[in-house]
Structure 1
Amino acid sequence: MQDIANQVVDIINGLIWGKILIWLLVSCGVYFTLRLGFIQFCHFGHMFTVLKGSRQTDESGISSFQALCTSLAARVGTGNVAGVAVAITLGGPGAIFWMWAIALVGAATGFVEATLAQLFKIRDQKGQFRGGPAYYMEKGLNARWMGILFSVFLIITFGFAFNSVQANTITNAMQGAFGLDPWISGVILVVLTALIIFGGLRSIARFSELAVPFMAVAYLLMAIVIIVMNFGQLLDVLVLIVKNAFGIQETVAGGFGAAILNGFKRGLFSNEAGMGSAPNAAASATPYPPHPASQGYVQMAGVFIDTILICTASAAIILLAGAQEGEGILLVQNALVSQVGGWGRYFLAVIILFFAFTSIVANYFYAENCLVFLEQNHPMGLTIFRVAVLAMVIFGSVASLQFVWNLADVSMGLMAITNLIAISLLSGSAIKLAKDYNAQRKAGKLPTFDVTKYPEIQAKLEAGIWDKK
């Protein structure tokens, strides 16, 4: 019976990811790039200069920097390490080129969804900002049913399935490096997770603000060390990536097609642009400059950091090490050990611990945000939900999760399709806001959103969010 269920799920996954979602994500990314005037290239520097004021906040929201770190906490997970290894194994070195390409195109999609999330955000019962795809579906499209559908997909995917998978990755890494029993790792993981998620949104944001920069910088420094050690081979590796990307030098079966397909799949899975997950964090911020589009720029930076920096670091570790045994995380581990010695195995285990644990915390926040949208946010309901999430973490620590992972792919695919339809229909508003923001920048002003200039948008917004104080 389970074999039949696995086959059905695999067929659905093949249809969603192989026939619909990848090309929908690519076409949306290209469309938004054109409509926004190649914003991710023309305003590349501004993605980072806007972070100068990103530590500012107020009593209603977290800072833009905390929102960026929370979204990065979910983005930067095992996909940035094991996922890159899978892309290279199945698609060859050229898959890395197409990961870069889809990240650069997808950054425009990330801008649109984050800007819309900021625009249509609300205040919850505690006075804190909430928002995301479910909210802009309800308010922007007057389609609460669509928001409910999206929320259910996200809660299944991020609240339960992905957290089980991340917990499984952590316990396997701890067992492989330190011989720690999965039950022990699982219990410790549950206790640490409970301490953070029961602290609420601000607790999650503070944790992400501290943990994400630390783990990302540590991993990038390791990659830089390996690049310096193998500097003479760097040009050869870059040439190999480009040649393989265009089928000039095939290294795997499928050649050119395999490189594109696996690069797109792993890149999209890693940077999440268009998936509808990161906007949940983006909406919770008090943006600076005080304009919805500023958070769009911040989240574009997140796509760049995730794929162009961290995924490239994994690719450098693997490709500069030469041929190694193993698949997924084992391939990266063996590559690291061949370069720096046995201690690299323990370093990677600790990095995976941070990557996967921060993903669990951020994934929980996304799911809670959608639970609030479904109006199941009374104290007892949230407590039951948190306990259920912790139960899935302990389950994931000791269980085999292939079926859960496959089912999560289906749910995530449906979630992304729902979100892409919504942001395509609402893209006109995001484009108006981008033009308004940059017109003010060009005039030497601090971009500030004046909602009265857009009465057709103002009528859809929650009162008091963007009204002048």
Structure 2
Amino acid sequence: MEFLQSLFGYVDSLTWGWSLIPILVVFGVFITIMSGFVQIEFFGRMFRVLSGRNQNTDPNAISAREALLVSVGGRVGGGNIAGVAVAITLGGPGAVFWMWCIALVGMATSLVECTLAQIYKRTDGEHSFRGGPADYIRHGLGARYRWLAIVYAICLLAAFGLGFNAFQGNTVAGAVHDSLGISRLITGAALTAVTGIVIFGGIKRIAKAADVVVPVMAIGYLALALVVILMNIGEIPGVIARIVSGAFGYEEAIAGGMGAAIAQGLRRGLFSNEAGLGSAPNVAATALVRHPVSQGVTQSFSVFIDTIVICSCTAFIILLGDVYVPGAEGVDGVALTQQSLASHFGEWSRYALTLAILLFAFSSIIYNVYLGENALAAITPAPQAILVLRVLILGLVFMGAAAPSATSVFFFSDPMMGVLALVNLVAILMLFPVAMRVVDDFRAQLRAGVERPIFDPSKFPDLDLDREAWNPGRWK
């Protein structure tokens, strides 16, 4: 066991320790520039998905909005509450500025990776699709790279399907026990039962659950933050000034100054929005849309929601309160967010935050379950394997909730996520010209006056596409 821990610790230091974050940042800037700032170009179109207008015509398929909400539910989690607090504690208010910056470039990365997932998606029954990095590696790069697709799938299954679900169960049980005094066993059993009801319905039931849970948790948390801002409206200019000055080292809030602010902001931002990590494309591929770029734009919007909106809510709750003291030690993570919220509203708000953590974690679990299933499908087509995986995941959720020390077994999760991110970035780089051809097709149709561009696979005869997935008859 010590050997394995040392091995995965070495992998973690090679990825998250010093290489992966700079690569993700440089890669995001590269995509932003080479795509012509595509996230800004299509920013206005992103909001269309919220209304539900112009959705697909097949009521049995996953809509763009449902895929967005599943993705938001997965991206929005503990990192938005505890992660932001840690970033501010270690990097000062300036970390928030760099979190915003990485979100802006991450929007371009997410648009490209999710567009690729749509391009190479495969039909998975009459009304559903399956895809993601494993598929765009296999069908985009060719058979010689099949081994790379398997490496990606194994890492995705280990990190998201198994490890992170145990951690989410632990997060929920810990928050409920600390604030309400309810036994971890009871919380674990209830969470496992509700999760089982959802995941045994497949991606369609997961999407329907996300369509209810995600708006409630996002709007509820946003409302709390908005009230805090209105209560302290006169202090907003000062807080924004602290964020900007701290970002460039003009205000020394913590040891390390500007360097600590940049490091913490970029790291926590990337952990939160997952842009470039190769997780969200698995969900993006499930949507029935007229053009691959349409879902790419939608998934880019999920990065905006996660980091620019939700993470900023936590930042303002903390910075407008009187609990956070620059450079002080002791209170950090979720405790800092809890105490800051209580300083604004009183002790009852701790329960509201516990509910938010519960919803955030539950939405992340059902998202992670689908990622695990998609990874397993890329490894083996046996339907029995999916059933075994679902039962195993339910056991891990319960174990993580009931026995918090058991999560130490999943020390491999972060290193495996680092490896899958590197694999995904290599694939995106190699397939970037393909993505830009499809983006240019989308642009050309918009310039020609087509309000809702339609993807015509006959324009791309050199690509290994699933013609049935892009059958124009789906739109009649």
TM-score of the two chains, using structure 1 as the length reference: 0.95
Equivalent in the alignment of 2:412? 407
Contact 1:6 1:403 in 2 (8 A): no
Q: Where has structure 1 moved over 6 Å in runs of 4 or more?
A: none
Contact 1:102 1:268 in 2 (8 A): yes
Q: Deviations over 1:62-104 (max 9, x none)?
A: 0000000011111011111001011111111111100000000
2:453 paired residue among 442, 447, 450: 447
Equivalent in the alignment of 2:230? 228
Equivalent in the alignment of 2:327? none
Matches within 5 A, 1:63-212: 63-125=63-125, 128-142=128-142, 143-212=145-214
* 1:199, distance to aligned residue in structure 2 (A): 0.9
Does residue 390 of the first structure (1) align with residue 394 of the second (2)?
yes
* 1:328, distance to aligned residue in structure 2 (A): 0.6
Equivalent in the alignment of 2:16? 17
Structure 2: which amino acid aligns with 1:88? I
Q: Deviations over 1:359-386 (max 9, x none)?
A: 00111011101111222441x3222111
Structure 2: which amino acid aligns with 1:392? L
Structure 1: which amino acid aligns with 2:15? I
Structure 2: which amino acid aligns with 1:168? N
Query: Secondary structure in 2 aligned to 1:424?
Result: helix
Q: Deviations over 1:266-302 (max 9, x none)?
A: 0001001101111111000001xx1111001000110
Does residue 417 of the first structure (1) align with residue 441 of the second (2)?
no
* 1:399, distance to aligned residue in structure 2 (A): 2.2
Contact 1:57 1:285 in 2 (8 A): no
Identify the range of structure 1 (262-271 vs 435-444) with the bigger mean alpha-carbon deviation. Answer: 435-444
Contact 2:89 2:332 in 1 (8 A): yes
* 1:61, distance to aligned residue in structure 2 (A): 3.1
Query: Secondary structure in 2 aligned to 1:349?
Result: helix
Equivalent in the alignment of 1:360? 365
Structure 1: which amino acid aligns with 2:456? D
Contact 1:50 1:294 in 2 (8 A): no
* 1:201, distance to aligned residue in structure 2 (A): 1.1
Distance in 2 (alpha carbons) for counterparts of 1:183 and 1:50: 39
Identify the range of structure 1 (345-354 vs 122-131) with the bigger mean alpha-carbon deviation. Answer: 122-131
Distance in 2 (alpha carbons) for counterparts of 1:24 and 1:318: 30
Distance in 2 (alpha carbons) for counterparts of 1:216 and 1:148: 35
* 1:449, distance to aligned residue in structure 2 (A): 0.9
Query: Secondary structure in 2 aligned to 1:27?
Result: helix
Distance in 2 (alpha carbons) for counterparts of 1:164 and 1:66: 25
Distance in 1 (alpha carbons) for counterparts of 2:408 and 2:8: 8
Contact 1:93 1:245 in 2 (8 A): yes
| Unmatched 5+ stretches in structure 1 | none
* 1:239, distance to aligned residue in structure 2 (A): 0.6
CA distance 1:89–1:23, change in 2 (3 Å): same
Distance in 2 (alpha carbons) for counterparts of 1:300 and 1:395: 34
Contact 2:128 2:286 in 1 (8 A): yes
Matches within 5 A, 1:276-315: 276-287=278-289, 290-315=290-315
Contact 1:60 1:129 in 2 (8 A): no
Query: Secondary structure in 2 aligned to 1:45?
Result: helix
Equivalent in the alignment of 2:58? 58
**Aligned-residue CA RMSD in angstroms?**
1.6
* 1:12, distance to aligned residue in structure 2 (A): 3.2
TM-score of the two chains, using structure 2 as the length reference: 0.94
* 1:8, distance to aligned residue in structure 2 (A): 5.1
Structure 2: which amino acid aligns with 1:381? A
Structure 2: which amino acid aligns with 1:31? F
Contact 1:174 1:180 in 2 (8 A): yes
Identify the range of structure 1 (405-414 vs 253-262) with the bigger mean alpha-carbon deviation. Answer: 405-414
Does residue 326 of the first structure (1) align with residue 326 of the second (2)?
no
Distance in 2 (alpha carbons) for counterparts of 1:35 and 1:411: 29
Distance in 2 (alpha carbons) for counterparts of 1:18 and 1:361: 29
Equivalent in the alignment of 1:428? 433
Contact 1:73 1:362 in 2 (8 A): yes
Distance in 2 (alpha carbons) for counterparts of 1:253 and 1:18: 20
Structure 1: which amino acid aligns with 2:140? G
Contact 1:107 1:303 in 2 (8 A): yes
Distance in 1 (alpha carbons) for counterparts of 2:411 and 2:101: 26
Contact 2:152 2:423 in 1 (8 A): yes
Distance in 2 (alpha carbons) for counterparts of 1:272 and 1:36: 20
Query: Secondary structure in 2 aligned to 1:456?
Result: coil
Distance in 1 (alpha carbons) for counterparts of 2:407 and 2:189: 22
Aligned pairs, number: 463
* 1:462, distance to aligned residue in structure 2 (A): 2.1
Distance in 2 (alpha carbons) for counterparts of 1:6 and 1:88: 29
Q: Deviations over 1:313-360 (max 9, x none)?
A: 000111110334622111100001111001011000001000001100
Structure 2: which amino acid aligns with 1:117? A
Distance in 2 (alpha carbons) for counterparts of 1:179 and 1:185: 10
